[in-house]
Structure 1
Amino acid sequence: MTKELYSNGKLLLTAEYAILDGAKGLALPTKFGQSLKLETSNSKTFEWKSLNENGTIWFSAQFSKIELKTIHTSDTDISKRLAQILLEAKHLNPSFLSSKTEYNSVEAKLTFPRDWGLGSSSTLIANIAKWANVNPYRLLAATFGGSGYDIACAQHNTPILYRSNEYNPSVSEVNFQPKFSDQLYFVYLNKKKNSRDAINSYRNLDFDKTALVSKIDAITNKILQCKELKEFVTLLNTHEKILSETLKIPTVKETLFSDYSGTIKSLGAWGGDFVLVTGTASEMTYFRNKGYSTILPYKEMIL
């Protein structure tokens, strides 16, 4: 018996950080994601393999059935974390992993490099939630935490508007297909950012959250109606300025690319993973010359 599940990766165009306080975020599911292949085997144990985008095993573990005690593993910390997620899913649905005929051989495979920050954790949570038939937002809250927009992206094949609301967020699919998308690129900064650390730092700031949410919501609404690149750029720059003042840290453009002619927008936790940049294909040479070789056109990244 075999079953395969799949969840999309994610990028957050607006409302990073502010989405934690209820701001409306424009989130973009990616063409990259993670699959979960489930099989029933004759093994008396529960087997797990995680593969990278090249099909190479980067993590493996063997657990006892039901209790999910680690028997063998390539990484103890990851093994403990995985067992915690599976046991939490079982807590939410006691029938999960309780049957003798239940799947006991699992292969998780990413279609993007793990350090890209497109949601190796969120796609895993979403897949396990589908498998266990539990609320993915509850599973996320009990494990990694966060706003949950990444879980929503995992389940939708089009851009979405997302507003958090504990375990029942507001999610609506939107028609966001900028006619200037040929002038939008995603540049990987090669600095994996720990989302939980970034969230904790944000939580410790003292500012008017209601005012921030109001400003960000207005920008998100305008971006959805945007027809011209010039207006889009103005809105992105305003968004960066507002967040920079709130976080009390400089924008990524000020820090790394102050002499670049186009606009640069952080996506998600500031200082790592991908940024959105405006420009032409030839202008991307600027980033390559600075050592940033992973550059994806909008249409190659976004569903």
Structure 2
Amino acid sequence: MKKTFYSNGKLLITGEYLVLDGAKALALPTKYGQNLTVEEGPEQTIRWKSYDADGSVWFESDILFSSIVKKEKSDATDDIKNTLIEILHEAYLIAPNFIQKSDGYIIQTALTFPKFWGLGTSSTLINNIAQWLDIDAFTLLKNSFGGSGYDIACAQNDFPVLYQLVNEKPIVKPVVFNPSFSDKIHFVYLNKKQSSKTAIANYYNKQGNVSEIIQKINQITEAVIEATEPKEFALELQKHEIELSNLLEMQTVKEALFPDFDGIIKSLGAWGGDFVLVISKQDPTSYFKERGYEIVIPYREMIL
């Protein structure tokens, strides 16, 4: 019998990097996500196939049950397969019956967003696997891929969340965030996918005492959620950019790429790639397309 699971993609509006150290973060699930279907199969093997949003196959492999149990790395250059084996191995340690009491599986995944967008290819996969095996997705993430877990909160919920790690435990609080000025907000893809693992490592390399900046980011996050006017919303996000720029010792994306833009640009998640949030009085699509940034998505088309 075929079983199907679905998880939402994610965007982190505030608290990037610092969410790892307990800062409050506003996270929004997206209208885009990933499906996973599971059928029984033969030969103590998982026949795995992953489809991109355009229907093309971006990963295909047979994974032996024995490789999952022993966490046997595939060819050292096959990072995707090795990461998948690691995730499935950690799932096996929590719920061994899916290997011990099965003959095999045929599994397909299908993204509804292009995988290079960075909306949560890994987090939606981990949450779907956790749904399939009825295990805790936050634990599976922590044991395999790592990260704060805000993306799992988005995968599981159809509403904005205030996310925080308290004593390393995820606290997910639903919040009302439905800006009346959403027509002034767009998301722009920066033409390159950023590695979350690399960005987190860089953050820890630069990190000093972050307790003071966490307090500032918490205040900004609360103010962003409560903002009723676009100017107020934009001002808080601008403050956020300045604080993170100082901490990371990096230029803001506006300084680096769009110094002449008439509006506010806020990095989302790992700095230097994926999407940015743009607030402007006028539709900014033509501005960005003239500069080679073709993917400009209005708020209402992106956010659940």
Aligning the two structures, in what range does the TM-score lie when normalised by the shorter sequence? over 0.9
Which residue matches 1:149? 150
Once the 2 structures are TM-superposed, how far is the Cα of residue 247 of structure 1 from its aligned partner?
0.8
CA distance in 2, matches of 1:253, 1:3: 45
TM-score, with normalisation over the residues of structure 2?
A: 0.94
Q: Secondary structure at the match of 1:235?
A: helix
- Which amino acid is the alignment partner of residue 193 of structure 1? Q
Residue 131 of structure 1, CA deviation:
1.3
- How many residues align structurally? 301
| Secondary structure at the counterpart of residue 164 of structure 1 | strand
8 Å CA contact 1:33–1:111 kept in 2: the answer is yes
Q: Could you tell me whether the CA contact under 8 Å between 1:13 and 1:27 is conserved in 2?
A: yes
The equivalent residue for 1:250 is 251
Runs of 4+ in 1 over 4 A off after TM superposition: 69-73
- 2:205 paired residue number: 204
Structure 1 246/44 Cα, relative in aligned 2: closer, same or farther at 3 Å? closer
Alignment partners' CA distance in 1, 2:38 and 2:72: 19
Mapping of residues 96-135 of structure 1, within 5 Å: 96-100=98-102, 104-135=105-136
Deviation at 1:129, TM superposition (A): 1.3
- CA distance in 1 between counterparts of 2:114 and 2:92 reads 29
Alignment of 1:52 onto 2:31: no
Instruction: Give the match for residue 297 of structure 2.
Output: 296
Question: Partner residue of 1:229?
Answer: 230
- Unaligned residue ranges in structure 1 (runs of 5+): none
Alignment of 1:33-48 (within 5 A): 33-42=33-42, 45-48=45-48
SS at match of 2:11: strand
Distance apart, 1:47 and its partner CA: 0.7
**Over the residues paired in the alignment, what is the CA RMSD in angstroms?**
1.9
The residue type equivalent to 1:196 in the other structure is K
- 1:267, 1:44 → 2: CA distance? 41
> Structure 1 residues 260-269 or 56-65, which shifts more?
56-65
| Equivalent position to 2:95, from 86, 93, 96 | 93
Note the C-alpha offset of 1:201.
1.0
Alignment deviations for residues 124-163 of structure 1 (CA, whole Å, 9 cap, x no partner): 1111111122221121112211111001100000110000
User: 1:283 Cα deviation (Å)?
Assistant: 3.0
TM-aligned CA deviation for residue 96 of structure 1: 2.5
Cα gap change, 1:287/1:93 in structure 2, threshold over 3 Å: closer, same or farther? same
Corresponding residue for 1:10?
10
Q: Find the aligned partners of 1:90 and 1:66 in 2 and give their Cα distance.
A: 11
Question: Which residue in 1 is equivalent to 2:263?
Answer: 262
Contact 1:61–1:72 (8 Å) recurs in 2: no
Contact kept in structure 2, 1:63 and 1:70, CA below 8 Å: no
Distance 1:278 1:100 in 2: 51
